[in-house]
Amino acid sequence: MTLIQELTDLINKTDIQVTEHQIQLLVQYVELLDKWNKAYNLTSVRDPHEMLVKHIMDSLMVGEVLEGNSFIDVGTGPGLPGIPLAILYPERSFVLLDSLGKRITFLRQVVFQLKLTNVQPVKSRVEEYQPEQPFDGVLSRAFSSLTDMVSWCHHLIAIEHGRFFALKGQFPHDEVALLPSNIELIKSSQIKVPQLVGERHVLELKKIS
């Protein structure tokens, strides 16, 4: 089965609405990731068919809980979940932040080859990055704890409407209990990723003044 057929079958098991062109872009991204991974070691997932489930579908399913138009994916690595979400939502803008040059080099190539006009890769440490405008949402699956995420990224969103979207496996009861008093857990959504073994949760947090 081709990657396009396989991804189409996976998406058909969900409520996600995509065009044929979007599926082609997602597969092109996987092919680029597979090609660059051999030299750049961007992901521990080596098989492109596995990437469809563990990277593409895992990222796309986050989309159903997002609110807002401008997002920053902190510690994006090879562009996850930012690139799949940017393909799914061309009307939303995504800054992909990472401190490692080879990852940003790869992402610039992805943006160029896939002609993604709503993605901006940025090489920077998160604490040094100062956006011109606050984002509607901070996305990340890179942080070891929720407290780390909100402390390192607090300057990236506005108090009124900004949200942190933390991507986790099992629900992190211990981490939630340790959140600072000015951070509120608004909701937690368990997302179902076709053919993925294990739990997935997206926690939505906000700052309170």
Q: Does 80 carry a binding-site annotation? A: yes
CATH architecture of 58-207: 3-Layer(aba) Sandwich (3.40)
- Taking only the tens of pLDDT, the chain with its 209 residues reads 899 999 999 999 999 999 999 999 999 999 999 999 999 999 999 999 999 999 999 999 999 999 999 999 999 999 999 999 999 999 999 999 999 999 999 999 999 999 999 999 999 999 999 999 999 999 999 898 999 999 999 999 988 899 999 999 999 999 999 999 999 999 999 999 999 999 999 999 999 97
Residue 126 marked ligand-binding = yes
User: Is 137 annotated as a binding-site member?
Assistant: no
Distance CA 71, CA 86 (A): 10
Report domain extents, the chain: 58-207
* CA angle at 42 for the pair 100 and 191, rounded to the nearest 5°: 105
25 marked as binding residue:
no
pTM of the predicted model as reported, rounded to 2 decimal places: 0.97
- The answer to whether the annotation marks 31 as part of a ligand binding site is no
* DSSP secondary structure of the chain: --HHHHHHHHHHTSS----HHHHHHHHHHHHHHHHHHHHH---S---HHHHIIIIIIHHHGGGGG--SSEEEEET-TTTTTHHHHHHH-TTSEEEEEES-HHHHHHHHHHHHHHT-TTEEEEE--GGG---SS-BSEEEES--SSHHHHHHHHGGGB-TTT-EEEEEESS--HHHHHT--TTEEEEEEEE---TT--S--EEEEEEE--
